Structure 1
Amino acid sequence: MSNNIVIVFDFDKTIIDCDSDNWVVDELGFTDLFNQLLPTMPFNSLMDRMMMELHSNGKSIEDIEKVLQRIPINHRIISAIKSAYALGCDLRIVSDANTIFIDTILKHLGISECFSEINTNPGYVNQEGRLKVMPYHDFNKASHGCTLCPPNMCKGLIIDRIQKSISEVEKKRFIYLGDGAGDYCPSLRLRERDFVMPRKNFPVWDLICKDPSLVKAEIHGWSDGEELEQVLMNLINKIMMEEHVQFIASDCKLATNSICSRSPVIA
């Protein structure tokens, strides 16, 4: 068991095998309107607008939940999540989706309890029964100041906060998994003892490959659920083995010091 590993997952195209925003819009028949509005506003604002359009056209939150419950999933990823949780890893989500979408899917998959924290755009159902989607960082009040990330969310700042919330004494090691351009900034915040798992041939992979030396963490790519599970479990086992070796070395050192500190026995 290891309590010294923090695993941070992106959600769309990482835990699930598509983009939850696009999935809901497409499945409920609003793709054309979505594409029409896409160039006119930030993506987070667009999703709030699309939820308004769905509600105006008679689509309920129950309709949205039913669509989310049939979203494409690779069950090897779910297996990896359950295994990592069972081994004592601290699992968290950092996603540019929203709380309603993520909570609905995690509950349907039976893995809600695996995650200690979910960082995403707030979503709630108002008194009229329509889903509202708000920005994680309220860019209408103030900018988060990062030029790499979309205005509503800087994942790098979230990783900074998580790192600062963990004392240096605990010596936690991070594994970060993602696919999108928004996962590049947090990858740059990882340290030398950490690991980043970018999805191969996706935007974050392309950005990292432009200059891998900018990333201090070890880079381990993955392409599908099977490879994600294999790479993640190998990294967890690697860290646990290193911890075990350090523990034995520390134990031996204490034993040696104890022997050396004893008074010599005179025959």
Structure 2
Amino acid sequence: MLCVVSNLVSVSESLTKSNNSVKLQLQRRMKTLVVFDFDHTIVDDNSDTWVIRSTPEQTLPDWLKKSYQRGRWTEYMGRVLTYIGEQSVRPEHMRAVMESIPFTDGMIELLTFISEHKKDIDCIIISDSNSVFIDWVLHASGVKSAMDDVFTNPASIDARGYMSVRCFHAHDCRQCPVNLCKRRVLQDFREKQAKADVHYERICYIGDGGNDFCPIKELKEGDIAMPRKGFTLEKRLCKAISEDSEALHAKIMPWASGNEILRQLRALIE
């Protein structure tokens, strides 16, 4: 009888060790999801205003500037792009101008690192720019392979050579511009990945602007919010924490250079 009990204990211990081993292997296989904004984060300027450099006067007329309505930037950019087309600016010239937009210091190195560690990192962009601008810039820089997906306002070029842009989606979030709620996009992406049995150990959210605040509020303990130092997002996060120390669950790690993010990301996965 003692021998039988001993064997039962041995089998139980073996199963426990096996289950623990499987859990550890699953934990090791879980990736980090890195989420980027684009303007003033990956690139060191606003792509929507940078394109104005492609016009003959490199500026917009006052009537067009005054047509902007708060919260409706994408609709305004549609009028800007139509105006640029009417100035006989060809898409080739516009593309050359967009490809000259400077990257934020250290971002090329960071995106190169991500592209070399795809077994550990999934990476997406959620941006209020547009699909054509982002595609042009990423292609020219040679770092498009870092990205698994890009969520932004869809844009296209018609037979005349005019570019047009549409709002990404409709939503009911009162905190975000009418064309894009980044929190909703992040939620939808995670749900889609979960259905494919892809789960993330952590999310690192990297941004600079006020529209990055909404998705960061949804981050959990163990996630990391990375606001660019001196920009709107950092100020809003500081204000939220000062008003309620438990308002945010993610760890806050401000940055000034992509190299700082690279060091943190390397430490997380290696």
> Shorter-chain TM-score: what band?
0.7 to 0.9
Alignment partners' CA distance in 2, 1:82 and 1:69: 18
- Secondary structure in 2 matching 1:79: helix
Q: Would the alpha carbon gap of residues 169 and 135 (structure 1) be closer, same or farther in structure 2, given more than 3 Å must change?
A: closer
**Contact preservation (8 Å) 2:30, 2:200:** no
Q: Does 1:119 align with 2:148?
A: no
Q: Would the alpha carbon gap of residues 36 and 234 (structure 1) be closer, same or farther in structure 2, given more than 3 Å must change?
A: same
**147-156 vs 81-90, greater mean Cα deviation:** 81-90
- Residue among 49, 67, 72 paired with 1:22: 49
Q: Deviations over 1:25-50 (max 9, x none)?
A: 24522334453322488110011111
Aligned pairs for 1:46-85 (under 5 A) are: 46-74=76-104, 76-85=106-115
The one-letter amino acid paired with 1:149 is C
Structure 1: 5+ residue stretches without partners: 242-267
**Contact preservation (8 Å) 1:3, 1:90:** no
User: Structure 1-normalised TM-score?
Assistant: 0.81
Alignment partners' CA distance in 2, 1:169 and 1:121: 26
- Residue among 178, 187, 191 paired with 2:220: 191
- Secondary structure in 1 matching 2:67: helix
Could you tell me the percent identity over the aligned residues? Answer: 28
Deviation of 1:91 after TM superposition, in Å, equals 1.1
Q: Does 1:233 align with 2:254?
A: no
**Contact preservation (8 Å) 2:53, 2:97:** no
Deviation of 1:163 after TM superposition, in Å, equals 2.0
Q: Does 1:151 align with 2:184?
A: no
The one-letter amino acid paired with 2:218 is R
Q: Give me the CA root mean square deviation.
A: 2.0
Alignment partners' CA distance in 1, 2:238 and 2:189: 26
Alignment partners' CA distance in 1, 2:159 and 2:190: 37
| Counterpart residue number, 1:181 | 210
Q: Deviations over 1:116-164 (max 9, x none)?
A: 0000000001122210100001x4xxxx111111000000001111222
| Counterpart residue number, 2:135 | 103
**Contact preservation (8 Å) 1:166, 1:172:** no
